[in-house]
């Protein structure tokens, strides 16, 4: 049916490529491109032998002309951006110039700030619409599936949704006393950033980790869960009509927080370089080198993730609650695609989003968040593609 250019060769990109190759009727060809071609080649080796034809290329995704040239050579129907969020805009520029459809999993952040916002990418709306090019923003799990869940709840179960609680729980155990699933810089930023939630038309800021609950989640059990800011709050607040409150919750264990705080207290998470043996060294960079490589956690991680949304609102004049969630098992994910559930749950929805565009179901000129599309084919594909979902109309979660 079509050809996808996957930009990036990290854990999420690897999942995307594996899942594309599991759907060769849709993804007849893929090209994996990143700054380090050897990574793309290693990935190609894992994938070769199936019906999907796999190519690789080298590209510096910071450079629009390089991207344009690559897209002209590869001629993809869609560009799946699973590179760094800093590179969203250069890749969007290249897609506009070459009229290739675009999809990503995380919104743009200027390298010099720590602030994720959609405004940079929403600024491209007119240009994409005029060019007749589709851009799908934030098609990972959260953001991504959480938006699809919201659209699905709205379409089938509510006249009006008043509140959404997005709950991202990871009960995985890698056996280390402390390690981070992603770049520790991002983990640390998550924990030390102010929280915020949307209520009655505006965002309310909280102190970092100020609001804590215990949720007793299916197949996960009771977990400490904290209110964080998360990027989909911004788009859902705009796209869900009549919404009164949206909150995002994520699990952190006490031990994880204690370690992170101790490291912060002593200055090991600082990004200010210090002088060490005549060299300027950033403590956080050194910490990263001391901690286990996130990519080494995959084979060791046991347990499950549970990510879902709890909706409250009205249908036919009656109040109702609806909880929809996915559970992934780290070891099953690893066996299937060589990555644990954190990368798996981000990568599969990127493939499904691309599948929606390629099959014409989500083909719509302009720049869109996932909740703006019809959720049904996406939800159906989730059940087929390893992200089966469950629903509960009377959840009892809060401990």
Give yes or no for residue 258 binding a second copy (CB under 8 A).
yes
Over the range 96-111, which residues count as b (16 or more CB within 10 Å of their CB) and which as e?
bbbebbbbbbbbbbee
Task: Sort strands 78-81 and 101-104 into parallel, antiparallel or unpaired.
Answer: parallel
Contact characters 191-210, a second copy, x per CB under 8 A: --------------------
Give the phi and the psi of residue 167 in degrees, each rounded to 5.
Answer: -120, 115
Q: How far is CA 124 from CA 40, 100, 106, 262, 368, in A?
A: 29, 14, 16, 42, 10
Residue in this structure with the two tokens 């999809």, named with its chain if needed: 103
CB 99 within 8 A of CB 77: no
- Which listed residue (178, 182, 336, 366) binds a second copy by CB under 8 A? 178
CB 240 within 8 A of CB 371: yes
Give yes or no for residue 265 binding a second copy (CB under 8 A).
yes
Contact characters 134-163, a second copy, x per CB under 8 A: ------------------------------
Give yes or no for residue 279 binding a second copy (CB under 8 A).
yes
- The CA distance from 332 to 219, in Å, is 15
- In the region spanning residues 290 to 319, those forming contacts with a second copy, defined by CB under 8 A, are 290-291
CB 202 within 8 A of CB 248: no
Comparing CB distances to a second copy, the nearer of 244 and 261 is: 261
The one segment of 6-14, 70-78, 219-227, 266-274 that binds a second copy by CB under 8 A? 266-274
The one segment of 61-69, 288-296, 334-342, 361-369 that binds a second copy by CB under 8 A? 288-296
Give yes or no for residue 262 binding a second copy (CB under 8 A).
yes
User: Sign of the C-alpha dihedral, residues 179, 181, 184, 189?
Assistant: negative
Give yes or no for residue 263 binding a second copy (CB under 8 A).
yes
The one segment of 150-158, 231-239, 281-289, 334-342 that binds a second copy by CB under 8 A? 281-289
Give yes or no for residue 186 binding a second copy (CB under 8 A).
no
Give yes or no for residue 286 binding a second copy (CB under 8 A).
yes
CB-based burial label for 37 (10 Å; 0-12, 13-18, 19+) = middle
Give yes or no for residue 284 binding a second copy (CB under 8 A).
no
Comparing CB distances to a second copy, the nearer of 203 and 286 is: 286
Comparing CB distances to a second copy, the nearer of 272 and 319 is: 272
**DSSP, res 224:** E
* Token pair belonging to 383: 């059940």
Q: How far is the CB of 39 from a second copy (least distance, A)?
A: 19
Please count the residues of this chain forming the interface with a second copy, following the rule CB under 8 A: 24
* Token pair belonging to 390: 């469950």
Q: How far is the CB of 292 from a second copy (least distance, A)?
A: 9
- Find, among 87, 59, 63, 62, the residue nearest to 76 by Cα: 59
- Which listed residue (114, 266, 388, 398) binds a second copy by CB under 8 A? 266
Comparing CB distances to a second copy, the nearer of 291 and 314 is: 291
* Contact footprint for a second copy (CB under 8 A): 177-178, 258-259, 262-263, 265-268, 270, 274-277, 279, 281, 283, 285-287, 289-291
């Amino acid at each position: 049916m079509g050809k996808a250019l996957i930009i990036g060769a990290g854990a999420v990109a690897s999942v995307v490529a594996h899942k594309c190759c599991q759907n060769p009727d849709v993804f007849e060809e893929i090209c994996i491109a990143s700054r380090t071609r050897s990574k793309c080649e290693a990935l190609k080796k894992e994938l070769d032998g199936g019906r999907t034809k796999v190519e690789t290329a080298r590209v510096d995704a910071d450079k629009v002309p390089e991207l344009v040239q690559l897209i002209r050579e590869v001629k993809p129907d869609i560009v799946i951006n699973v590179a760094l969020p800093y590179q969203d805009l250069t890749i969007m520029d290249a897609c506009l110039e070459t009229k290739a459809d675009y999809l990503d999993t995380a919104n743009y952040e200027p390298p010099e700030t720590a602030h994720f916002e959609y405004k940079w990418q929403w600024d491209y709306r007119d240009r994409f619409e005029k060019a007749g090019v589709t851009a799908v923003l934030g098609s990972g799990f959260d953001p991504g599936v959480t938006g699809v869940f919201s659209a699905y709840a709205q379409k089938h179960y509510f006249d009006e949704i008043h509140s959404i609680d997005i709950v991202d729980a990871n009960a995985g155990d890698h056996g280390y006393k402390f390690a981070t699933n992603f770049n520790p810089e991002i983990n640390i930023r998550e924990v030390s950033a102010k929280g915020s939630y949307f209520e009655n038309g505006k965002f309310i800021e909280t102190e970092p980790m100020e609001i804590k609950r215990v949720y007793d989640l299916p197949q996960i059990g009771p977990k400490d869960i904290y209110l964080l800011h998360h990027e989909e709050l911004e788009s859902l607040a705009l796209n869900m009509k009549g919404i009164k409150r949206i909150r995002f919750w994520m699990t952190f264990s006490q031990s994880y927080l204690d370690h992170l705080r101790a490291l912060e207290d002593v200055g090991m998470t600082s990004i200010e370089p210090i002088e060490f043996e005549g060299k300027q060294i950033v403590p956080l960079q050194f910490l990263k080198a001391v901690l286990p490589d996130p990519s080494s956690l995959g084979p060791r991680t046991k347990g499950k993730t549970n990510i879902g949304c709890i909706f409250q609102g009205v249908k036919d004049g009656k109040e109702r609650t609806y909880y929809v969630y996915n559970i992934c098992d780290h070891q099953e994910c690893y066996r299937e695609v060589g990555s644990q559930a954190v990368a798996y749950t981000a990568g599969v929805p990127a493939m499904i989003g691309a599948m929606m565009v390629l099959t014409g179901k989500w083909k719509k000129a302009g720049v869109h968040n996932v909740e703006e599309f019809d959720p049904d084919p996406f939800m159906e594909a989730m059940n087929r593609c390893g992200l089966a979902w469950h629903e509960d109309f009377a959840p009892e979660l809060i401990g």
